[in-house]
Amino acid sequence: MTPLRGSSLHGRTAALALALVAAFAAPGARAQGKAVYDQACGVCHNAGIVGAPKLGDAKAWEPRIKQGVPALYAVALGGKGGMPARGGNLNLSDTQVKSAVDYIVSQAKVRATTAVASAPPAAAPAPATRTAAAVASTPAAQSPPASALPTSAAQPPAAPAATAPTDPPASSVAKFAPGPTTVAAAVPVRAPVSGAQANAFNRLLRPPAQRNLPPAEDGIHDPANDGTQLLQPPLEAFGALPRSNAGNRVDWVKALAETRIQPRVDRVDPKAEAVVMDLNIVREVKGSMPDVVYPHKQHTEWLDCSNCHPAIFVPQKGANQISMAGILLGEKCGVCHGKVAFPVSECRLCHSKPKPTAATAAPAR
């Protein structure tokens, strides 16, 4: 039992490391099987998407397993129904796919035997801490039904606590080991402000070295993912487009007006034309700030009337209270401006109509 438990423990660790860096080669067929399953098959087989039999659902898997494991290998490698070949992950080798199938089969059998033995329902994915606590408080856990043991692969921290209570390092490691890893995974990807950034002229302005980075370097794409390398880098697309000083640093309105880009108006019909409405709305604003000129023309080039009316803006003069505070909170213009359309730092693109300056002070009344 011990070697089995050891290997499943190891498998979990390797799967975790693989999820983090996707660069660990998992030793052990079972460990590899679980890792491959998590990476390629779990998306559909965890939830049962498009008719995929769920992992561990003995009833669903029984007829399939009866056809023989080679038949399952063939399905996994070649695809069937809604399932793409190799789970859609064509980089997987035959051995990797087969190890995942073996893992699925082992899980199905485990659940089946547990059900037959009418043992308490196998602890399905439960928080590891809770399981550990339950194991510690229940003496029966010292002698769990043999068939239930392999399921503990899902909760490795419980295993050493139950089997080796005399080994304090092992149990303490098991208790605390998930700590640093889960914390590391939960930390939002926001780099600490480095010295150079802190002394930058304006921390809200992105330094040139951080503009339009290729996907692998932009901080939100996973460089270890094969697909990331296939994605188009922004600068490759922006090369011929008119530049601006904010946002993507592309002047999208100008790019469209000069037909440098020809985005489709209709999903399928490349010849469909936009219904453009040319109507400027002038909004007088307080203080010395130039008035806002809102051009329907540039907006209807991109958008449908129903995108803004009536949910965001009531189509009636005087019915919309707009303030910069609301915009900064993401209301009104701020639904798009500041997120995908040019940001609010570009004041004069909206506030573009200078107030008439009175030559002489108005007479007092």
Cβ atoms of 213 and 170 closer than 8 Å: no
Nearer to other proteins, 84 or 145 (CB): 84
Q: Which helix (H) or strand (E) holds 292?
A: strand 291-295
Does residue 94 touch other proteins according to CB under 8 A? no
Cβ-based burial of 11 (10 A; exposed 0-12, middle 13-18, buried ≥19): buried
Which one of 192, 239, 318, 356 is in contact with other proteins (CB under 8 A)?
A: 192
State the CB neighbour count (10 A cutoff) for residue 71: 12
Nearer to other proteins, 39 or 147 (CB): 39
How many chain residues interact with other proteins (CB under 8 A)? Answer: 107
Question: Per-residue x/- mask for other proteins, residues 11 to 40, rule CB under 8 A?
Answer: --xx-xx-xxx----------------xxx
Does residue 46 touch other proteins according to CB under 8 A? yes
Cβ atoms of 275 and 249 closer than 8 Å: no
CB under 8 A: which stretch of 68-76, 92-100, 212-220, 314-322 binds other proteins?
Answer: 212-220
CB under 8 A: which stretch of 70-78, 104-112, 138-146, 332-340 binds other proteins?
Answer: 332-340
Which one of 63, 227, 239, 318 is in contact with other proteins (CB under 8 A)?
A: 227
Considering only residues 271 to 310 of the shown chain, the ones binding other proteins according to CB under 8 A are: 274, 301-304, 306-307
Which one of 149, 242, 343, 353 is in contact with other proteins (CB under 8 A)?
A: 343
Q: How far apart are CA 196 and CA 206, in angstroms?
A: 12
Q: Is 352 helix (H, G, I), strand (E, B) or coil?
A: strand
User: Least Å distance between CB 47 and other proteins?
Assistant: 7
Which one of 107, 338, 349, 350 is in contact with other proteins (CB under 8 A)?
A: 338
Which one of 188, 239, 356, 363 is in contact with other proteins (CB under 8 A)?
A: 188
Q: How far apart are CA 235 and CA 11, in angstroms?
A: 41
Residue 318 has, within 13 A of its CA and on its CB side, a CA count of 0
CB under 8 A: which stretch of 66-74, 146-154, 191-199, 284-292 binds other proteins?
Answer: 191-199
Considering only residues 107 to 136 of the shown chain, the ones binding other proteins according to CB under 8 A are: none
CB under 8 A: which stretch of 104-112, 133-141, 232-240, 349-357 binds other proteins?
Answer: 232-240
Residue among 30, 79, 234, 295 nearest 38 (CA) = 30
Considering only residues 49 to 88 of the shown chain, the ones binding other proteins according to CB under 8 A are: 49-50, 82, 84, 88
Residue among 243, 276, 269, 271 nearest 258 (CA) = 243
Does residue 222 touch other proteins according to CB under 8 A? yes
Which one of 124, 189, 319, 358 is in contact with other proteins (CB under 8 A)?
A: 189
Residue 96 vs residues 6, 20, 61, 76: alpha-carbon distances, Å: 21, 19, 20, 11
User: Least Å distance between CB 316 and other proteins?
Assistant: 21
Amino acid identity for residue 214 in this structure: P
First to last CA, the chain: 98
Nearer to other proteins, 145 or 343 (CB): 343
Does residue 177 touch other proteins according to CB under 8 A? yes
- Contact residues for 132 (Cβ-Cβ < 8 A; gap 6+): 155, 157, 158, 161, 174, 175
Cβ atoms of 221 and 228 closer than 8 Å: yes
Q: How far apart are CA 18 and CA 103, in angstroms?
A: 17
Does residue 191 touch other proteins according to CB under 8 A? yes
Does residue 330 touch other proteins according to CB under 8 A? yes
Does residue 5 touch other proteins according to CB under 8 A? yes
Does residue 250 touch other proteins according to CB under 8 A? yes
* Per-residue DSSP letter, 205: S
